[in-house]
Amino acid sequence: MSQKLFNFVSSFGLMLIGVVLLFVGSISVEIKNNSQFLAFPQSGPRVQIGGDVTLAVLPKAKPTIPLSKSNEACLITTTAAVAFVVDDKTDTVLYEKNSGTVRSLASITKLMTAIVLLDMPLGWSSTTIVSVDDIDDSSHHINVGEKFTLDDLWNVALIGSDNSAIKVLVRASGLTVGQFVARMNEKAQRLNLKSARFADPTGLDNRNMAKAPDVARLLGLALKQEKIIQALQTPEYYAKPFDKKVRRVWSTDWLLTKWIPSDYKCVQIAGKTGYIVDSDYNFVVRLTDESGHSIRVVILGASSNETRFTEARDLANWTFEHYLWPDEVGYDDLSE
């Protein structure tokens, strides 16, 4: 037998032996039912329902939203024309009063102005000089001819709700007021704020309007921006005009300054005020309890500066007392 033939026969024989061993192994290995390695997931017993086969016992779906501890109605009296409370995480409505009414926003408008400004390539460390056209009679934090950084004006605008500072920032964007307002309305539509309409960047125009759910949503979207959060959680700020003395700017949010007493710390408060004659006193705020649960409260058309804060605080306290969140003791009992 030649060497080539011998090699062929040997190779063929080894291959044949391998096939036989594989066959024998496949029919002789015992698969044990209790082997975790080889076990497959098993479904529960099934039943026939009409033409469908379904599990005999369906798994229980647990809610993930805040649940009311009882059917007790909120007895808090509010002067506000509109009041609204929503869970910050799930947008679940927890309280509402006339929430379908469209109201003038006043300086709550500045939240949308701030969002649009952050879409633009502004150099916040750059400087500008306040012009005559920038000054609004209701403002008292900046004066004609003073030089500020844009970052300084940003804080004056949001912390002190200063209309003149907003006007300077809009001018610095390079857009006309009309062009800027058009961007505000385009942004509102893209953000699905269906009832929101804007006519000027400051909030002085009574045609800046929205319903409470969209106001709550506007705040939630604004607070996704760290630069907005930082401003809205600053109780007092010192503006620094070049070659002039620094001047104190108090936040218009009296919960933040503690002029209205509450149990909330500054890091648990982030809100924006608004007032013109046509709107009365407005306030939208996110408040967080000690357990880390956050809600957004909207007050539109309150009777006084003070009551917009006390009513927001009292509604927040009532909500935290009368609802349970999924991570709280007793929630599972409510969800059954």
Question: Rounded mean pLDDT of 131-146?
Answer: 91
What does the pLDDT look like over 181-217, one tens digit per residue?
A: 999 999 999 999 999 999 999 999 999 999 999 999 9
pLDDT at 222: 98
Tell me how far apart the alpha carbons of residues 231 and 239 are, in angstroms, rounded to a whole number.
Answer: 13
Domain residue extents for the chain = 67-335
Residue 86's beta-bridge partner residues?
93, 296
Residue type, 112: M
Only one residue has tokens 């997931």, namely: 41
Would the pLDDT of 288 be above 90?
yes
DSSP classification of residue 134: G
Given pLDDT bands bounded at 50, 70 and 90, which one contains residue 58? low
pLDDT at 132: 95
* Least confident window among 16-20, 27-31, 51-55, 260-264: 27-31
Question: Rounded mean pLDDT of 34-41?
Answer: 48
Q: What's the angle, vertex CA 318, arms to CA 159 and CA 97, rounded to 5?
A: 75
SS3 216: helix
* Least confident window among 39-53, 70-84, 316-330: 39-53
Domain 67-335 has CATH 3.40.710.10: yes
319 sits in the region (left: phi over 0; alpha: psi -120 to 50; else beta) called alpha
Tell me how far apart the alpha carbons of residues 293 and 175 are, in angstroms, rounded to a whole number.
Answer: 40
Q: Which residues contact 261 (CB under 8 A, 6 or more apart)?
A: none
- pTM of the predicted protein model: 0.82
Question: Rounded mean pLDDT of 227-247?
Answer: 96
Q: Could you tell me what percent of the chain has a pLDDT over 90?
A: 76
Q: Residue 182: CA atoms inside 13 Å, Cβ hemisphere, count?
A: 5
Would the pLDDT of 12 be above 60?
no
Tell me how far apart the alpha carbons of residues 83 and 146 are, in angstroms, rounded to a whole number.
Answer: 40
Smallest Cα–Cα separation from 94: which of 321, 333, 335, 331?
Answer: 321
10 Å CB burial of residue 246 (0-12, 13-18, 19+) is exposed
Higher pLDDT, 305 or 9: 305
Would the pLDDT of 20 be above 60?
no
Would the pLDDT of 321 be above 60?
yes
What does DSSP say about strands 247-250 and 103-104: parallel, antiparallel, or unpaired?
unpaired
Smallest Cα–Cα separation from 281: which of 1, 133, 83, 62?
Answer: 83
DSSP classification of residue 257: H
